[in-house]
A and B are shown apart, each in its own frame.
Chain A
Amino acid sequence: MNNTAELDYEDEEEIQVVAFQLGKEEYAVDILNVQEINRLLNITRIPRADKNIEGVVNLRGNIIPVINLHSKFNLESAGEEDDKRIIVFQFDDVRAGIIVDEVSEVLRISSKDIEAATYQSMDATLLKGIAKVGERLLILLDLQKILGLEAV
């Protein structure tokens, strides 16, 4: 992102993201990591697990942990219960899901519209940046960091 200046006409990189609501904020994740988007399944609570772990769900016989980003980012859950989804993503052999209030759309954003997140109030290490799409601001999540799966 610090090479914004060098990106002119043809080298402009575009990424595709899935955008979703968490509370009143709009977030997005790189579509390449997203495996599928599901309706809310029955979530089984895991006693004594991290408070940000909502529980586990059965996804066609596979057991997948579901992370509660609302509690991680201290956000109020908003919107209709019916709109809530689990976004399941995969990194190598780890699969996990996040609960979102509503999946808004899939869109392309060009890297020149992404700014590094440097605001003090945010846990900037968990973010890849903030994308400006028209009037909207999409917060790009670094899922690997959120899961604690630092790339080795």
Chain B
Amino acid sequence: MKMDMSKYLDVFLEESKEHLESLNEQLLELEKNSKDVSSLNEIFRAAHTLKGMSSTMGFNDLADLTHHMEDVLADLKEGLLEANSYVIDVLFHCFDRLQLMIDNIAVGKSDEMDNSDLLNILKNIKMGNYEYAAMAEPKASEAPVADVSDLFNLNEYDMTILKEAASRDFTIYYIKVELDPGCLMKAVRAFMVFKTLEEDGEIIKTSPPSQDIDEGKFETSFELFLITRLTEDAIAHRLNEISEIKSITVEPLDLNSLNISDNRPKVEATHNEENHNNDDTGKKVHKMKQTVRVDIERLDNLMNLVGELVMHKGRLEQIGSNQKIADLHETIEQIDRISTDLQSVVMKVRMVPIEQVFNRFPRMVRDLAKDLQKEVDFIIEGKETELDRTVIDEIGDPLVHLLRNALDHGVELPQERTKKGKDPVGTVILRARHEGNNVFIEVEDDGEGIETDKVLAKAVEKGFINAKQAEQMNKEDVINLLFSSGFSTSSTVTDVSGRGVGLDVVKNKIESLNGEINVESRTGQGTRFRIKLPLTLAIIQALMVAVGDEIYAIPLSSVDETTMITGADIKMVQNQEVIMLRGNILPLFRLAAILEVPKQSDIGDEMYVVVVRRGDQQIGLVVDALIGQQEIVIKSLGKLLNGIPGIAGAIVAGDGNVRLILDITTLN
């Protein structure tokens, strides 16, 4: 059975991850607004699907926990329970447990886990027993297992039927059917049971509800009430003829022992229907778009192929311009158009909304704020902003770090905020937006801002700078100190930040993505970290330059301008060549020397200088010739050649030769 399911495991894991994400997200919404019916419906739907999926996959502990969660959710939905902070906390705990189990499954372990603690709490909540549950020792909830009528949610209407039946000499039986655990088509077996029983009787009520049974949404057993004139033995005998049934319990029922569960006034049937409707509307909202899941590797392959196509198109263009054949020229133009379209489509396919990363943050921020006893309003803007998949995968950790920072070091404790005359609830904004070929992501808080004095003191103490240097630094320089490795201003090491990884790690990561990060901070008013990222890492604009016999690509994103100088423009400052460019002094580096180009051409007195940005500094690179701007498909040099300073990757040029891309940040 498990073997058969294994091929669905990936799908299961993927989808359950999504459902959990959605659960977390919606529960947060619900926490903000306990009257939010749509969130509740969404939670219910997600939990329900999760339950169905896990029981189909045979993850019983997982299904069991979800099932009990669903019970509580159903009560919330019916308005029988209030979504107070206690219930919500419990649900969050449940989600975490589910996550844990799913993670276990993902690494090939089973989902088996003792969830009795949570199950008991859930049961208690279900019984309306919060305070009791709040203090619940796991064993404390040896509370009476709900009696039969509770299990079935019998209402007055059901009771009337039962009484009526009893008065007409019908017997009411409680029947429990347990199917063989290996039974493949549970729904079919259940249907056969129903059919057999209904030949000579009427099924009043089932648990789980008959609709779930029809859809196979039960574990191995189900229970029902039957009104019939048959004897116990006759019923058992008939049922025994159905195969794959493990055991049958048939008990006549004493009507007086049944209680109407008066706190559940709704008729089960309508209740069911309601669920169903909600399900449908939920689906309509969320499943409007048809999607296909594609392994990212295949997309990478596709991207490679398109890159290749673009390259060969380039060659074809060269041939075309040499041959001057009108037909050929026309065709090449067509191919050009198509390949450009193709390229942009493939690029788009690789783009995913940053939502994927942002979605896990609200939960994290909430938990963190609770831990730190801070009150925070967390606002996400622009989560629909799209980014290349490769960037998305990398950007999560740096953002986690910045958010932790904002909460831990930025936003103050409520009482402090009140003292300062601020709203006790702090605000943290996570914002993403497009601008040209870049995406900006900002993490902003309205906390105390960066205290430059503290930073300076710390920097001196740690020996990054000496006291004299400290005096000369302006505010910006000071803030940049935060990015030096091994720096943390938090005087106490908290659990949240200050784990020894500092902002330098964030900065390195961002720079490895060809991005930039900067900080703005106003004392007492807040801090804003702004990350600038390229839309994609796969295709960039580059300036092609010649150095000796070799050709290199410089990412256009780091090029400020190009200029031509003569030998007389070069001045020396402490053995370093520099030039003046509109009043700025730029250090000058000769690429031929840096790259140890073997055949250095004699470049005469005039030379081209490419002015590039390295961090916040400008430098000039002397090259022999500027070839032009080109769109390039970046390829990695592979494992063997990784990490050569100054080289960011390679491209295959139009003539089939490999050209290297310079990495300005590590070039020296």
A interface residues with partner B (beta carbon < 8 Å) = 42, 44-49, 53, 55-58, 60-65, 93-96, 147-148
Contact = CB atoms under 8 A, between A and B. Distances in A.
B595 interface: yes
A65 B638 contact: yes
Nearest to B595: A47
A60 to B, nearest CB: 8
B662 to A, nearest CB: 10
A47 B596 contact: yes
Interface residues of B, number: 29
Interface string B256-283: 0000000000000000000000000000
A46 B647 contact: yes
B639 A63 contact: no
Interface in B65-83: none
A96 B595 contact: no
Contacts of B311: 61
Contacts of B639: 93-94
- A-B pairs, 7 with minimum CB distance: A47-B595, A44-B658, A61-B308, A58-B652, A65-B640, A58-B658, A42-B657
Contact of A63 (B595, B597, B645, B658): B658
A45 B595 CA distance: 10
Interface in B586-607: 594-598
Nearest to A93: B639
Given A58-B656, A65-B640, A65-B641, A48 B650 contact: no
A45 B650 CA distance: 11
B307 A63 contact: no
Contacts of B656: 42, 58
Contacts of A56: 637, 641, 650, 658
Contact of A65 (B635, B637, B660): B637
Nearest to B653: A58
Contacts of A65: 637-638, 640-641
B424 interface: no
Contacts of B636: 63
B647 A95 contact: no
A58 B314 CA distance: 15
Contacts of A58: 652, 656-658
Given A61-B307, A62-B635, 7 more contacts: A44-B657, A45-B550, A47-B594, A58-B652, A61-B311, A61-B652, A94-B640
B658 A48 contact: no
Contact of A48 (B550, B596, B638, B657): B596
Nearest to B551: A44
Interface string B30-51: 0000000000000000000000
Interface of B: 304-305, 307-308, 311, 550, 594-598, 635-641, 644-647, 650, 652, 656-660
A42 B647 CA distance: 19
Contacts of A147: 640
15 contacts: A42-B658, A44-B650, A45-B550, A47-B596, A48-B595, A48-B645, A55-B658, A56-B641, A58-B656, A60-B308, A62-B635, A63-B652, A64-B638, A65-B637, A94-B639
A119 to B, nearest CB: 28
Contacts of A61: 304-305, 307-308, 311, 652
Contacts of A46: 637, 641, 644, 647, 660
Given A48-B645, A58-B652, A63 B637 contact: yes
A48 B308 CA distance: 28
A42 B652 CA distance: 11
A58 B305 CA distance: 14
Contacts of B650: 44, 56, 63
B647 to A, nearest CB: 7
Contacts of B646: 47-48
Contact of A94 (B304, B550, B638, B647): B638
Contacts of B596: 47-48
A65 to B, nearest CB: 5
Nearest to B597: A47
A84 B650 CA distance: 25
Given A58-B656, A61-B308, A47 B637 contact: no
A140 B647 CA distance: 34
Contact of B660 (A44, A93, A148): A44
Given A57-B658, A58-B656, A48 B644 contact: yes
A148 B640 CA distance: 8
A10 B638 CA distance: 42
Contacts of B308: 60-61
Nearest to B550: A45
A73 B656 CA distance: 30
A125 B645 CA distance: 29
A65 B640 CA distance: 8
A14 to B, nearest CB: 31
A71 to B, nearest CB: 15
A96 B640 CA distance: 8
Contact of A53 (B550, B598, B641, B652): B641
Nearest to B547: A47
Nearest to A67: B640
Nearest to B651: A63
Contact of B659 (A44, A48, A60, A95): A44
Question: Which among B311, B647, B657, B658 has the greatest number of chain A C-beta atoms within 10 A?
Answer: B658
A62 B598 CA distance: 25
Contacts of B660: 44, 46-47
A149 B586 CA distance: 43
Contacts of A42: 656-658
A46 B597 CA distance: 10
A93 B597 CA distance: 31
A49 B638 contact: no
Nearest to B644: A49
B294 to A, nearest CB: 20
Question: Which among B635, B639, B640 has the greatest number of chain A C-beta atoms within 10 A?
Answer: B640
A64 B640 CA distance: 9
Contact of A95 (B594, B638, B644): B638
A57 B594 CA distance: 22
A63 B644 contact: no
